[in-house]
Amino acid sequence: MTEIIKYYTAQGHRAPIYFWRDHIGNEIDLIIDHAGTLTAIEIKPSQTFILDLLRDLSKWEKFINLKEVKL
């Protein structure tokens, strides 16, 4: 995340980064808004991939398909 902030700061811009959390605790660790395109990123301290780690990304995908997202 630090590298993303440094990248935008070096260009004289505020880094367009956000996070998302709903009322029941689903969350996305990092959302980058690049020219109106939102990229959701989950950050996990694991060396082993577990499919369940994508659960919140699935919830985010359903959320953005149901609502117009405004950050």
What digits encode the pLDDT tens for the residues 16-34? 999 888 888 888 888 899 8
What digits encode the pLDDT tens for the residues 31-64? 899 888 888 888 878 777 777 777 778 777 777 7
Domain boundaries, given as residue ranges, for the chain: 16-66
Nearest to 19 by CA among 34, 32, 33, 29: 29
Give the DSSP H/E element, type plus range, for residue 8.
Answer: helix 2-10
- Bridge partners (DSSP) of residue 41 are 30
Q: Is the whole-model pTM more than 0.75?
A: no
Give the DSSP H/E element, type plus range, for residue 31.
Answer: strand 27-34
C-beta separation of 26 from 37 below 8 A: no
